[in-house]
Amino acid sequence: MDALNTRIKTLRDRSVRWLVSTYHAINDPKIVKKAFEKCEVGGTGPNLSQESLPGPGAASLLRKIECNDIALWTAFQGRVLSLDVPHLAGENESVFTSDFEYTDDTAVSADQLVALVFQESSRVGLTARLLGG
């Protein structure tokens, strides 16, 4: 049996080669989409694909959790509502010196959206309420 070559050049070349070849092997949008489609909830429920998450299956699953598993729903609420990112003074200051203050009256803050989603038992008309209709 041959001795394992542990010279730096050999190790460097071989460790990078498998990483690059793996990247090229899976760098295909079809493979990535298929991987997310195979990540299913409960075997027959919605999956993690872009087509499934905003669909009616995922919404139905969330409604069932809200009605049938209050403890889990409360845990979801606590995790989302307690996401508190501290603001460091000066970190996000604008680089522009303009005195013009732009306000978009159609924008909905994340806090408003989270509060509406978790406070409403019925999601009918949520979009209209958010957009002021």
CA distance 31 to 38: 11
pLDDT of residue 122: 47
Give the whole-angstrom CA distance, residue 52 versus residue 37. 8
**Rounded to whole angstroms, how far apart are CA atoms 32 and 36?**
6
Q: What is the pLDDT of residue 59?
A: 85
The pTM assigned to this predicted structure is: 0.38
Per-residue pLDDT reduced to its tens digit, 5-16: 778 887 777 777
Judged against a pLDDT cut of 60, whether residue 133 lies above it is answered with: no
C-alpha 63 chain-centroid distance: 19
**Per-residue pLDDT tens over the stretch 91-123:** 555 655 555 565 555 666 777 767 766 665 445
Distance (Å, whole) CA 11 – CA 16: 9
